[in-house]
Structure 1
Amino acid sequence: MNNPTNGSPAGSLASLGNVHFIGVGGVGMSAVARIMVARGVPVSGSDAKDLPVMADLSAQGARIAVGYSAANLGDARTVVAGSAIRDDNPELAAAREAGLPVLHRSEALAATMGEDTVVTIAGTHGKSTTTSMVTVLLQGAGLDPSFAIGANVPALGVNAASGTSDIFVAEADESDGSFLNYRPRIAVVTNVEADHLDHYGTAEAVYESFDRFTALLPAGGLLVACADDAGARALAERTRSRGNTRVLLYGTSEDADVLLHDDGPGSVAVSIPEGRFSLALQVPGRHNALNAAAAFAVALELGVDPAAAAAALGGFSGAARRFELKGEARGVRVFDDYAHHPTEVRAALTAARSVAAGHKVHVLFQPHLFSRTREFAREFAAALDLADTALVLDIYPAREDPIPGVTSQLITGHMAGGGRLAAAGEAVALIADAAREGDIVLTAGAGDVTAYGPRIVEALRG
């Protein structure tokens, strides 16, 4: 079930009463629950498995259960259901039978924002990283924003918190259209490409949803858009033509308001009318330099001194599953990345090339969704050809049923000599055997391929 909401408005935080989360162990669900608990809302929740975050929520005062049962609803007045929760879930069925409002995660998060100054970060790629950068930057500059991020962030310790300032920074997910539930004053759009066509149907519908997103900005609100991305630039031009929203461009294009200078690791800076400011980034890749420029632009809008903003970006060490180092053995570093769109795979492999510094790059890629594989097989192949060795696992189905004729061979059939299919049982050994001292190994995809990184490190040690 993609969207469990029954269409009821979220209302104010106080109007929700006791809130029960079905699937509370999910990264996005736990983020909202954590903020609600911190803001004094009575919270309960359940999940099929006993996940570490559930113990954290319990310690904060939430009533948490393992396993699903209608009795878990207790005295809940509002229910929040995760996107993976099916209609036959006993708690969801009981909530609907009782006539309780059933909210999407984004509706519940919107209710927690209240009258805060809301900064939302949207885009086909880079949302979690950019949201994390904005949050780390603001904290480093002496502010204490509330935040909700779709990934764990080592520099923050958690993926969500209720801060003491009136600023709320949130990742805004376009995959199911739920980013339209927020009311931002500042909206960042990192890029706009066709994706999630299982939900939208056409590329045009994706673009139209971003138009609706920027239309949510109030008079005098600000759109921060990437000048280097054709989709984001076109969105900025359409938004500017409406006349009631300010637009700020960032990137390497000469007309960017925040001009990025990226000459490789250690040589990243931004220029604004006040001067040029060096960015001491810990994360590699042009895409991360662009994300940093976006975070810098948001900080300026919120009144942060440019020098302080630039310095604070040095505190960002990355987000979970975003070019995350999983280990090193025999002089081979193994990274993991959530990349599941051709543009993301290309960006991750380009970053890997810069880190490899002349050595080889080996990638183990797991396609995510049959529909995405069907739509972008050629583009995935072209991106994976950037690696010296590219092994492709079977498709991770996630929420989809198989589509006849759609397999990982659609990708490997378009690849050059370094690419081939790999069975799950042989992939670790093949990658470990190919890697030599100084090489980089990357596991990539939104499925369970993330579990292969530690196994590759162990194989290298063996």
Structure 2
Amino acid sequence: MTPGLPTAMDRPHFIGIGGAGMSGIAKILAQRGAAVAGSDAKDSDTADALRALGVTVHLGHAAAHLADDASCVVVSSAIRADNPELARAAELGIPVVHRSDALAALMDGLRPIAVAGTHGKTTTTSMLAVSLAELGREPSYAIGGDLDAPGSNAEHGRGEIFVAEADESDRSFHKYTPEVAIVLNVELDHHANYASMDEIYESFETFAGRIVPGGTLVVSADHEGARELTRRLAGSVRTVTYGEAADADVRVLSVVPQGLKSEVTVVLDGAELTFTVSVPGRHYAHNAVAALAAGAALGIPAAELAPALAAYTGVKRRLQLKGEAAGVQVVDSYAHHPTEMTADLEAMRAAAGDGRILVVFQPHLFSRTQELGKEMGQSLALADASVVLDIYPAREDPIPGVTSELITDAARAAGADVTAVHDQAEVPDVVAGMAKAGDLVLTMGAGDVTDLGPRILDRLTK
């Protein structure tokens, strides 16, 4: 099955084309034959991967980068209203399309699986994409992170299934009409867009209401927020629950750690099934079970999909091993919400054996730190020692009085050994002074803390 190009997207221009979500859509459009162009603030491996597909990538943002004959301009919620290319589009009368609308158009005519939840979306989407490809299903997919190489966050496949990460942060997941939707968990996050849990629930209810007639919602039976969502939906959509709860439709009987892997046993349709998940931790094992349940809802035999899930070996920034030096392993984590931080620290504790866990944590967003700084500090108490950096602002302006001290104070109050470092250039030396053979260093956060892994390894080598 090879869908054609969506209307008015044969010559799209992407503002911020190097971003995880934007680059994936640009890649799929290029693979479908569109003349794709775009701009990004800086060069990157992702930009190079797009260029290899024939995409024109401009560096920096300028009105001149937008071609007069562009069929549309694609933006994300991170693009500010004063962007010069956006202003130029208005002058030329070129339609502006939100990233979510572009992705929805790409899924039209296929069998979409949309993966939602406060945490775990990228991992679960990746697990589905990899396992379906392993089975020869040739899925299309759009993921919020790279699997094993720059530009591997998306693919135009020839099969009928499209697996997409569904972002709740700006309510853009309301644009999709999936055949199967997954809700992994429901928690308060994205405080700039949601004022309360009621707003979060309403948003997820709207998402579930978009499932096509006869479709299926796969939802956690263990997570209280997900259970509350199920109660609120009250049978309005066919629901399959999964988890360790006694009433789960797909029940997890055990998750047995095996180093950096796990052996998972579930009961599905009355049959017991055991399979391997090639990443560590209970959190990721449950993601794999959600993927298994979603595939089964599409009619893929669980006995085939379960062993194929073992083909998934991780995605960049999701407990990604960066290397080892002087007997110290360095692992990178995208975790930036307390629940994610706790899950990854528990997974690393099980994998590290007798070694210590040392964390380099960079808070992401002022609004998130303001609301969840205390909980972040409490999560860091699970490590043996932590280094906390300044807040990575991303799209936000500073909030008076909101600094990473909110986290370090809470961490110390919880009994944690924590050090504040304001200059990232000092981090490799600080970590080298702390680490010893057998330890595991975890760089953690959604910002540029990921760049520190290679520098720490280099310093340890010396």
Does residue 56 of the first structure (1) align with residue 56 of the second (2)? no
Matched residues in 1 for 2:113 and 2:138: separation?
14
User: 1:283 and 1:242 mapped to 2: Cα distance?
Assistant: 34
Instruction: Name the SS for the 1:414 alignment partner.
Output: helix
Query: Which of 388, 394, 397 does residue 401 from structure 1 map onto?
Result: 397
**Mapped contact 1:331–1:438 kept (Cα < 8 A):** yes
Q: What amino acid sits opposite 2:452 in the alignment? A: Y
Q: Which residue of 2 aligns with 1:18?
A: 11
Q: Letter of the aligned partner of 1:67 in structure 2?
A: G
Whether the 8 Å CA contact 1:136–1:155 is kept in 2: the answer is: no
Aligned-partner Cα distance in 2 for 1:412–1:48:
32
| Aligned equivalents of 2:432, 2:210: Cα separation in 1 | 49
Supply the distance in 1 between the matched residues of 2:235 and 2:343 (Cα, whole angstroms).
Answer: 32
Residues 395, 56 of structure 1: alpha-carbon distance in 2 compared, 3 angstrom cutoff:
closer
Q: Write the distance in 1 (CA, Å) between the matches of 2:390 and 2:47.
A: 31
Q: Which residue of 2 is the match for residue 32 of structure 1?
A: 25
In structure 1, the residue matched to 2:427 is 427
Counterpart residue number, 2:436? 436
Paired residue for 1:208?
202
Rounded Cα–Cα distance in structure 2 between residues aligned with 1:398 and 1:117:
34
For residue 249 of structure 2, the aligned residue among 252, 257, 276 is 257
Determine what percentage of the aligned residue pairs are the same residue.
49
What's the secondary structure of 1:323's corresponding residue? Answer: strand
TM-aligned CA deviation for residue 442 of structure 1: 0.5
Structure 2 partner of 1:118: 112
**Do the aligned residues in 1 keep the contact of 2:147 with 2:314 (CA within 8 Å)?**
yes
CA distance in 2, matches of 1:201, 1:56: 38
> What do the CA deviations read for 1:289-308 (whole angstroms, capped 9, x no partner)?
00000111111122222221
Mapped partners of 1:159, 1:364: distance in 2: 26
Return the offset for 1:77: 1.9
Shifted more, 257-266 versus 87-96: the winner is: 257-266
Alignment map for 1:12-411 (pairs within 5 Å):
13-74=6-67, 75-154=69-148, 158-239=152-233, 241-243=234-236, 245-260=237-252, 261-265=254-258, 266-411=262-407
Cα offsets for 1:295-338 (capped at 9, x unmatched): 11111122222221111011001011000111101211110111
- Residue aligned with 1:279, SS: strand
In structure 1, distance between residues paired with 2:450 and 2:50: 25
Instruction: Kindly provide the amino acid, as one letter, of the partner of residue 18 in structure 1.
Output: R
Contact 1:155–1:317 (CA under 8 A) maintained in structure 2: no
Q: Cα–Cα, structure 1 residues 63 and 349, in superposed 2: closer, same or farther, change >3 Å?
A: same
> 1:48, CA displacement in angstroms?
3.0
Can you give the 5+ residue segments of structure 1 that lack an aligned partner in the other structure?
Answer: 1-11
Q: How does 1:409-420 map to 2 (within 5 A)?
A: 409-415=405-411, 416-420=415-419
The Cα of 1:274 is off from its aligned counterpart by 4.7
Whole-Å separation in 2 of the counterparts to 1:356 and 1:290? 20
Is the Cα–Cα contact under 8 Å of residues 45 and 150 in structure 2 kept in the other structure?
no
Q: TM-score, normalised by structure 1?
A: 0.93
How many equivalent residue pairs? 450
- Give the 3 Å change call, closer, same or farther, for CA 444–156 of structure 1 in structure 2: closer
Q: Which residue of 1 aligns with 2:453?
A: 453
Q: State the alpha-carbon separation in 2 of the partners of residues 145 and 234 from structure 1.
A: 32
Distance 1:297 1:67 in 2: 43
**Whole-angstrom distance in 2 between the partners of 1:81 and 1:426:** 36
Deviates more, 1:397-406 or 1:116-125: 397-406
Deviation at 1:156, TM superposition (A): 10
Runs of 5+ consecutive residues of structure 2 not aligned to the other structure: none
**CA distance in structure 2 between the aligned counterparts of 1:348 and 1:289, rounded to whole angstroms:** 12
Post-superposition offset of 1:40:
2.6
Worse-matched range after superposition: 443-452 or 39-48: 39-48
Asked whether the equivalents of residues 224 and 297 of structure 1 are also in contact (C-alpha less than 8 Å), the reply is yes
Q: Cα gap change, 1:206/1:212 in structure 2, threshold over 3 Å: closer, same or farther? A: same
Scaled by the length of structure 2, the TM-score of the pair is: 0.93
- Please tell me whether the aligned partners of residues 360 and 387 of structure 2 are also in contact (alpha carbons under 8 angstroms): yes
Superposition deviation, residue 71 in structure 1: 3.4
Distance 1:100 1:157 in 2: 27
